[in-house]
Amino acid sequence: MERCAARRAPEEERRVRANAREYNEKFQYASNCIKTSKYNIVTFLPVNLFEQFQEVANTYFLFLLILQLIPQISSLSWFTTIVPLVLVLTITAVKDATDDYFRHKSDNQVNNRQSQVLIGGVLRQEQWMNVRVGDIIKLENNQFVAADLLLLSSSEPHGLCYIETSELDGETNMKVRQAIPVTSELGDTGKLAGFDGEVICEPPNNKLDKFGGTLYWKENKYPLSNQNMLLRGCVLRNTEWCFGLVVFAGPDTKLMQNSGRTKFKRTSIDRLMNTLVLWIFGFLVCMGVILAIGNAIWEHEVGVCFQIYLPWDEGVHSAFFSGFLSFWSYIIILNTVVPISLYVSVEVIRLGHSYFINWDKKMYCAKRRTPAEARTTTLNEELGQVEYIFSDKTGTLTQNIMVFSKCSVNGHSYGDVQDVLGPKAELGERPEPVDFSFNPLADPRFQFWDPSLLEAVKLGDPHVHEFFRLLSLCHTVMSEEKSQGELFYKAQSPDEGALVAAARNFGFVFRSRTPKTITVQELGRAVTYQLLAILDFNNIRKRMSVIVRSPEGKIRLYCKGADTILLERLHPLNQDLSNVTTDHLNEYAGEGLRTLVLAYKDLEESYYEDWAERLRRASSVPEAREDRLARLYDEVERDMMLLGATAIEDKLQQGVPETIAILTLANIKIWVLTGDKQETAVNIGYSCKMLTDDVTEVFVVTGHTVLEVREELRKAREKMMDASHSTANGFSYQEKLCSSKLTSVLEAIAGEYALVINGHSLAHALEADMEVEFLETACACKAVICCRVTPLQKAQVVELVKKYKKAVTLAIGDGANDVSMIKTAHIGVGISGQEGIQAVLASDYSFSQFKFLQRLLLVHGRWSYLRMCKFLCYFFYKNFAFTMVHFWFGFFCGFSAQTVYDQYFITLYNIVYTSLPVLAMGVFDQDVPEQRSMEYPKLYEPGQLNLLFNKREFFICIAQGIYTSVLMFFIPYGVFADATRDDGAQLADYQSFAVTVATSLVIVVSVQIGLDTGFWTAINHFFIWGSLAAYFAILFAMHSDGLFQMFPNQFRFMGNAQNTLAQPTVWLTIALTTVVCIMPVVAFRFLKLDLKPELSDTVRYTQLVRKKQKTQHRCMRRVGRAGSRRSGYAFSHQEGFGELIMSGKNMRLSSLALAGFAARPSAGWIETLRKKKGGDSGAGSPDKTLKV
């Protein structure tokens, strides 16, 4: 496993010779072994201890332990520190070892996968980890690609093979790769064993879509591109076998180059606690210095007079040295201001919160039998502070399932569900789906709900027939017929597959194709069309066309594409029909559907012959070939006749729009970072309600140069600034001007904006001199969508926000292409979906559906943050109250480092007497129930603003602790100065005073935690009252006859507790101390609740009032987005596929085919969310005035 981690000098170029291990080994290329774990058996202990002692607190306690081992200055036993320190280090080490064990297990599972390697002319089974650069390996259908390979040959004609790249870019549609012609005939092991070609190519890099190299073989050289490469993480599909030459292995593969490093993640509270520990240590040193100076002065002025019976310790010869030793003694005594039990308790609380996430049945997916899983225990409270979410699209927001939903044909809209009387049926009243039993070739999984479309087909409506004829002809889908009538379609994009499947069910069945023909079964009759040309799709054209000759000899062009492009290319005669279709498109877009416009054009034979000849000449000229073809395509695709439009639903995961809407209300900004194309991503933005008509403007950045991108960003900022100046109301605008460093005036703009940026533009925007401009522009927008981004760019965007915005980031994704982003963000969430488990393995939290993110943040995250903050505030309070008593006592004991309490009370105070109640509060407390947390998203904002535990709150806590310690010491001291026992004897002895102060302290902090607890459980009651009972039981036991007789040197004060607590004066003193310590707190909280209540207080009040009133049911209605956006269209495949079909290189299909396209009806989204104030419509509702 060590060879996985070998470091090498960076390469300038890579040379690989096939079947020559000895030659390749001299370059010391990485093996195919991967390593994601952090430790091994040898390095675990030193590395883990080094990491743990990076925590300031652990180093601080180690220093205290060393001090306690010095007898001259130690006033407490060493075991009071070493036991909890070892406990903390052990618990953390076990947790880290467990996490790393699972990483080792995952690595071993991958490294031990089997692969067929050609060695000595024979195929041998080898583990992945033993594959070397230069090896030739054989892959079979549905196998993962073991390393980055140069495709040599395959079972398909012309060396073609089909791959799925979801682990790399998140896209589940198939892609085509092709071997270079000279190697495509090397189909058997004999020929491959004699292959000795040498590849010289670029060094390892993370660019997934680029590869440059040259193959030298038989004194010839052949250029290589990305189309010849199979990358690790891809899956071979629909190809029986292929052979490939290993070019990059293990850590050098593009997948691993994009995976990023495992980063040690700390929460903001951890970082703050490290700072506070340093401050407290400084405070401790100041107190030690004060008391040491006091000791030196006292010994010089007073102590010198008592040398006879209070001599200095051996080795102490001056008051100054006595003060020096006293300083270290007080450091030890006062160290309990930050006891190590704080860190033990924090780990226990975080572990409890993690189990709550794991046990949450509402985050369990029954369909996949997948529970939510907290894969780390250190980040739970940070879930309550998230401000930015970075989400993948495919498989995270969507299911990547396309459904033919609606269409418009010749001005008539089909697809709306009708009831028997005619009007549109309401949600939940959907009738039976259309019966396609008349068609033996229909796909049984396809469902459509409007029978009038099928009736139009059966009645012979020529427009409807032509509509479906276009869908069955104008595409690049491949067909395979395993048995008679059993059709399987292989579509490059799922939306193309959905359209062809729709035509199939309505009677226009695409059966087969050759390079020059397409066969369609039209209503039972086989018709073969001559395929004359495919005008392929690209991102600029945003359309594709086919030119076919019908059996009657008529030449016709069929075209489908984005409405913004096609509508302006129609013949003027289509104006009226175009207006009606535009209205339908607006309606479909309002429902978030992906739209396409369909059109056709009849061509004269003479014109086509002339155009085809010009096309042939343009194709044969290499210079400016693309521009020449584009002009010819543009010429023929004009003056078309409008047929209609289609509307496809990209199946979102259940609950995505509601989740995004509620997270937006919680002031969380959501950015979508996807490898998918711009139009697809924008469509999903509308579908999931990230983009709506409320958005003032969507800025699209598509510049190819630095200057273009800078100019587009500048124009976007200017537009936002102009709108802000013209509409700002003054108050909010001016208020925002006084914000922190990078927060510009842009973030105070009036209006909502969205930013869409492409990957090539993002590469420029992320450069050092432009990243701040990009970030300011993006952060001023309500929604940001980054398209065609690489995995590394995803991580760079997250890193940019982390660098300049002091905000907690969360990244969520489901594929290997999301791993870098997940590791870079403060919190990484993996979706256990259909794209492997790479994202889950790299994540901090995992579950199966995006909608669970809402509950993870608003319930578990908010509660974890609330509980941790309350825990810390109380912990610092109780320990300052406990420790500062020693400081005040120092002024009355000659600064002698004498403790007020006995050492057993000091040891047990944080371990027994006060540990369990605060743990119960930290694990179980809640301010409002989970339903209210989801209903009132604004409750989440205190965590984002870090209001519940910060430096100000910390100083308030220690001020309250110091105030309590003053009263705790001086009230008993004042009473005991003149108090007498019942028998007239003096009450004031040291041990009675210690018992009184200790009892007062335990009672006061117990009452305080009762006030702090917002949610009482049986466990809280048991721990609070049980701890009090334990205190008295242990107190009386330590002062009992039995312990004195067994350990007379340890328990010398026999009967003291019984005698002291038998005095009414003592109990009155304890009661007075408790009242004086607690009453100001109670009074302050009552005034605050009455005069300046927090939102959670108001929610609790409304909840109490609601219990007294009859619950009112909220009406929920479906609202469509009546919008004008139609830029997004259902067409997301790559350029070049049409040319491949026309070449005839991919005509023979393998025996395995794509699964059919699921076409289940989509449940409508209920857009009207319950308002945060509860949405009660009744007059006089008590929460009517609640503003959230």
User: Could you give the residue numbers annotated as active site?
Assistant: 392
Strand-pair category, 517-522 with 508-513: antiparallel
Strand partners, 314: none
Token pair 């007379």 is at which residue?
1048
Q: How far is residue 146's CA from residue 232's CA, in Å, rounded to a whole number?
A: 5
Pairwise CA distance, residues 934 & 766, whole Å: 36
Contact 1141, 534 (CB under 8 A): yes
Q: Which residues contact 311 (CB under 8 A, 6 or more apart)?
A: none
The Cα–Cα gap between 214 and 194 comes to: 19
For residue 380, give the DSSP letter: G
What are residue 81's phi and psi, to 5 degrees?
A: -110, -40
Residue 9, burial from CB neighbour count under 10 angstroms (0-12, 13-18, 19+): exposed
E strands, 1037-1134, where?
none
937: left (phi over 0), alpha (psi -120 to 50) or beta: alpha
Q: Edge-to-edge strand order for the sheet containing 752-758? A: 373-374, 845-847, 827-831, 808-813, 386-391, 669-673, 783-787, 752-758, 695-701
CA distance 543 to 597: 9
End-to-end alpha-carbon separation of the chain, Å? Answer: 56
d(CA 1110, CA 517): 70
Dist CA 468 CA 522 (whole Å):
9
- Smallest CA-to-CA distance from 489 within 512, 505, 508, 469 is with 512
DSSP 1114: P
β 198-201/14-17 pair status:
antiparallel
User: What is the residue-wise DSSP string for 304-366?
Assistant: GGGTTTSPPPTT--SHHHHHHHHHHHHHHHGGGGS-THHHHHHHHHHHHHHHHHHH-GGG-BT
Q: Output DSSP code: residue 603.
A: E
Query: Could you tell me the two tokens for 369?
Result: 């039998």
Nearest to 407 by CA among 477, 467, 461: 467
214 and 13 Cβ atoms separated by less than 8 Å: no
- 436-473 as b/e: b if 16+ CB within 10 A: beebebbbeebbbbbeebbebbeeebeebbbbbbbbbb
Contact between residue 70 and residue 133 where contact means Cβ atoms under 8 Å apart: no
Residues 915, 343: contact at Cβ < 8 Å? no
Burial of 871 (0-12, 13-18, 19+ CB in 10 A): buried
- Specify whether the CB–CB gap between 166 and 836 falls below 8 A: yes
Gap between the Cα atoms of 827 and 391, Å rounded: 12
Write out the two tokens for 1105.
Answer: 């009032």
Alpha-carbon separation of residue 283 from 331, 730, 880 (angstroms): 10, 45, 11
- Give me the helices (H) in 891-950, please: 903-908, 915-924, 930-935, 941-944
SS3 content of the chain, % helix, strand, coil (to 5): 50, 20, 35
Rounded-to-integer distance, Cα 504 and Cα 499, Å: 9
